[in-house]
């Protein structure tokens, strides 16, 4: 059975859990256990980031990876990652595959696979220019006066996200 969804948590974690339970009731038997497991994904995400960084791994980082992939001996892969012989990229890919295979829902969920599935139509951009809401315009003017000493780079970057400028004055949950 395959379940296709572009946004698995759109209706909340409980709804996402219910769909996962349909796919594998033995693996996803308890919502509370699922929530606890989700909390433990941070070290895995950090480990994947380390491996993706293309930096050499120190002993502490290697120990973390060894702990997360304790079912297999990864010493040769770790040596390859820290070597300069061209095997580093291959070893990094293999370690990431091992991490993803052992943690989380990686055997059930496949994200961003549009390119890997044939038959999708080519996407075309249909740009529609929308007016900037007056509330945003006011917030931008006030921010410009208050932050006149900011560099051009920072000001330009902030202008890409007018909603954040508005929220600076009205709060994170501001609506209009």
pLDDT tens digits for range 20-43: 888 888 888 899 988 888 777 777
| 10-residue stretch averages of pLDDT, the chain, 176 residues long | 67 83 86 84 81 87 88 89 85 86 60 60 87 92 87 88 90 77
Element (H, E) at 99: helix 88-102
End-to-end Cα distance, the chain: 43
Q: How open is the CA angle 92-53-42, to the nearest 5 degrees?
A: 90
Please spell the DSSP secondary structure of 136-171, one letter per residue: HHHHHHHHHHHTTTS-HHHHHHHHT-HHHHHHHHH-
Cα separation, 20 vs 37, in Å, equals 14
pTM exceeds cut of 0.75: no
Cα separation, 75 vs 174, in Å, equals 51
């Amino acid at each position: 059975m395959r379940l296709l969804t572009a946004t698995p948590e759109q209706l909340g974690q409980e709804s996402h859990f219910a769909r996962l339970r349909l796919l594998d009731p033995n693996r996803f038997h308890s919502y509370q256990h699922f929530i606890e497991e989700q909390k433990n994904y941070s070290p895995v995400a950090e480990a994947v980031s380390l491996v993706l960084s293309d930096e050499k791994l120190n002993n502490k980082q290697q120990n973390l990876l060894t702990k997360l992939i304790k079912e297999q001996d990864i010493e040769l892969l770790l040596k390859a990652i820290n070597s300069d012989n061209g095997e580093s990229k291959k070893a990094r890919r293999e370690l990431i595959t091992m991490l993803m295979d052992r943690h989380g829902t990686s055997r059930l969920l496949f994200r961003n696979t549009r390119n890997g599935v044939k038959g999708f139509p080519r996407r075309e951009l249909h740009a529609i220019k929308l007016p900037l809401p007056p509330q945003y315009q006011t917030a931008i003017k006030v921010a410009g006066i208050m932050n006149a000493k900011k560099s051009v780079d920072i000001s330009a970057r902030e202008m890409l996200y007018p909603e954040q400028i508005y929220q600076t004055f009205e709060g994170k949950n501001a609506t209009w």
